[in-house]
């Protein structure tokens, strides 16, 4: 039996409190890992990691949401840890170490008001809050912080990679990037190829964002997500054949796909078509928002949902029902599934005066139709995560 050391809390230092928000993607789904465009907002719900530096290399975690604890050493293999939620934190520590941050132990309490696996990026909120906490704990311990950490997107890439090494999910950069770089009151048009960003205001007096959690749970690791990513890679390889040299599906446009698409079997053609049309929709949606054309924005959301349902096949009957209900309600500009799909949540944009009514309609109609309960609420476009010290908290 392996003996675990007990993490000894630092006798003097007060805890580091790191918080990272969840996100709702307004449009641009399954495009990030194809080097395309996404348009998310961070929301006013998130995950908090309160960490006390310890004097050794042990990590002791307590998850309030799971009612469980985990302990491991900073150099343990993240992929084999139990319980599985601890892998997110261990994955972050392992990627930070590999990128030059000295290993430090800590004791931490993790709390969240995000639904777990609900399509609002609870996993990136956890990896990002853990990364912010770990860096701050190292800094307090006198460690030299590698200068690259200040470069935009670097910590987000570490959090994305953590999910791959620790959980086997080959997710894209959208979720951690949003959690670490979002701005209050604004949506973020991110070009996932070069990480250039354009912020577009989402004025609270013009539009409210309503999120409905279907209660259907996905497990991205369970295969569908990685399978879609694999299909995109296969479509790209076939299109590239001899001659063409596309770096990603992002490099295709509608006319190139019309000309070259016959080289693809039907399923791969539909996957590629989703990516091509979604990239165009997302850029147009950002422009529509910038010129306050919410009606056009809403129509693009509906087209996005249809494309995800028919071409990409990542929706499910419960998400489709939520979208249908929203689109019949008063004051709604548009509605679609958000996040990886196979369950999770929908997002609807609605006139502020009709938001409360939409929340009620979605909850009652969804239950009537499916027998399930949806958690529906208005969310606010919020700022990025960050760290503070909490001298009052007790270790
Ligand atoms: C999940 C992934 C993201 C992104 C979305 C789909 O949320 O973590 O990187 O691919 O699915 O848009």
- Quick check: 92 and 162 in contact, CB under 8 A? yes
CA 259 to centroid of chain Cα atoms: 34
- Calculate how far, in angstroms, residue 129's C-alpha sits from the geometric centre of ligand 1: 18
Out of 339, 346, 347, mutate this one to test ligand 1's pocket (max ligand atoms within 8 Å of CB): namely 339
275 in helix, strand or coil? helix
The structure tokens listed for 58 are 């042990």
**What element of type H or E holds 72?**
strand 68-73
Question: What average pLDDT score do residues 354-366 get?
Answer: 98
Say how far apart CA 54 and CA 6 lie, in whole Å.
10
Residue 10: band (very low, low, confident or very high) from pLDDT cuts 50, 70, 90: low
Ligand 1, CB within 6 Å, residue ranges: 29-30, 32-33, 121, 171-172, 174-175, 339-340
The hierarchical CATH code for the domain 16-196+383-389 is 3.30.230.10
Task: Please name the residue whose Cα sits nearest to atom 1 of ligand 1.
Answer: 340
Q: Locate the domains of the chain by residue range.
A: 16-196+383-389
pLDDT tens track for 364-380: 999 999 999 999 999 99
- Measured between its terminal Cα atoms, the distance across the chain in Å is 29
| Residue 218 backbone class (left: φ over 0; alpha: ψ -120 to 50; beta: rest) | beta
DSSP label at residue 265: -
Highest mean pLDDT among 5-14, 35-44, 145-154, 212-221: 35-44
175 is catalytic: yes
**Backbone angles phi and psi of 142, in degrees to 5:** 90, 10
Instruction: Determine how β-strand 58-63 pairs with β-strand 106-112.
Output: parallel
Question: Is the backbone peptide bond immediately before 127 cis, with ω within 30 degrees of 0?
Answer: no
Burial class (CB in 10 A: 0-12, 13-18, 19+), 194: exposed
Say how far apart CA 118 and CA 217 lie, in whole Å.
7
What dihedral angle (degrees, nearest 10) is formed by the CA atoms of 368, 314, 21, 17? 110
Residue 207: band (very low, low, confident or very high) from pLDDT cuts 50, 70, 90: very high
Out of 120, 124, 167, 175, mutate this one to test ligand 1's pocket (max ligand atoms within 8 Å of CB): namely 175
The structure tokens listed for 44 are 């006013």
Closest CA to 316 of 119, 173, 172, 114: 119
- Calculate how far, in angstroms, residue 24's C-alpha sits from the geometric centre of ligand 1: 11
Residue 222: band (very low, low, confident or very high) from pLDDT cuts 50, 70, 90: low
Angle, helices 154-167 vs 174-181, to 10°: value is 140
Say how far apart CA 334 and CA 390 lie, in whole Å.
41
Element counts in the chain: helices (H) and strands (E): 10, 12
Is residue 355 over pLDDT 80?
Answer: yes
Q: Which candidate in 32, 76, 161, 175 is catalytic? A: 175
pLDDT tens track for 300-342: 999 999 999 999 999 999 999 999 999 999 999 999 999 999 9
- Calculate how far, in angstroms, residue 143's C-alpha sits from the geometric centre of ligand 1: 33
The structure tokens listed for 142 are 């006198």
The structure tokens listed for 292 are 């306050």
**Backbone angles phi and psi of 247, in degrees to 5:** -80, -35
pTM of the predicted model, to two decimals?
A: 0.94
- Ligand 1 atom showing the smallest separation from residue 173 Cα: 9
Q: Which alpha helices (DSSP H) does 311-354 contain, by range? A: 317-328
The position carrying tokens 């990896």 is: 127
Say how far apart CA 130 and CA 97 lie, in whole Å.
13
């Amino acid at each position: 039996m392996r003996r675990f050391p007990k993490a000894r809390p630092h006798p003097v230092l007060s805890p580091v409190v790191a918080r990272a928000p969840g996100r709702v993607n307004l449009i641009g789904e399954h495009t990030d890992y194809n080097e395309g465009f996404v348009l998310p907002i961070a929301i006013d719900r998130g995950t908090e990691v309160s960490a006390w530096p310890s004097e050794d290399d042990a990590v002791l975690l307590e998850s309030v949401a799971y009612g469980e604890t985990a302990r491991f050493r900073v150099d343990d293999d993240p992929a084999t840890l139990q319980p599985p939620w601890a892998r997110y934190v261990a994955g972050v520590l392992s990627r930070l170490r590999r990128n030059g941050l000295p290993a430090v132990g800590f004791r931490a309490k993790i709390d969240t008001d995000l639904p777990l696996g609900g399509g609002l990026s609870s996993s990136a909120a956890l990896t990002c809050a853990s990364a912010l906490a770990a860096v701050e704990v190292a800094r307090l311990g006198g460690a030299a912080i590698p200068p690259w950490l200040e470069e935009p997107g670097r910590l987000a890439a570490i959090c994305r990679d953590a999910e791959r090494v620790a959980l086997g999910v080959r997710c894209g950069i959208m979720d951690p990037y949003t959690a670490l770089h979002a701005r209050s009151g604004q949506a973020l048009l991110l070009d996932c190829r070069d990480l250039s960003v354009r912020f577009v205001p989402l004025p609270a007096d013009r539009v409210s964002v309503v999120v409905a959690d279907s209660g259907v749970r996905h497990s991205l690791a369970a295969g569908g997500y990685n399978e879609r990513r694999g299909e995109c890679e296969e479509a790209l390889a076939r299109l590239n054949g001899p001659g063409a040299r596309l770096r990603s599906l992002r490099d295709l446009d509608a006319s190139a796909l019309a000309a070259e698409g016959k080289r693809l079997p039907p399923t791969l053609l539909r996957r590629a078509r989703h990516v091509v049309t979604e990239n165009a929709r997302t850029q147009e949606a950002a422009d529509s928002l910038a010129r306050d054309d919410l009606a056009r924005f809403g129509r693009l959301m509906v087209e996005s949902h249809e494309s995800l349902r028919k071409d990409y096949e990542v929706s499910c009957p419960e998400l489709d029902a939520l979208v249908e209900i929203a689109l019949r309600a008063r004051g709604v500009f548009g509605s679609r599934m958000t996040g990886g799909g196979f369950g999770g949540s929908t997002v609807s944009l609605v006139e502020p005066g009709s938001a409360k009514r939409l929340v009620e309609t979605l909850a009652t109609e969804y239950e009537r139709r499916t027998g399930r309960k949806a958690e529906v609420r208005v969310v606010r476009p919020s700022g990025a995560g960050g760290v503070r010290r909490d001298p009052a908290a007790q270790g």
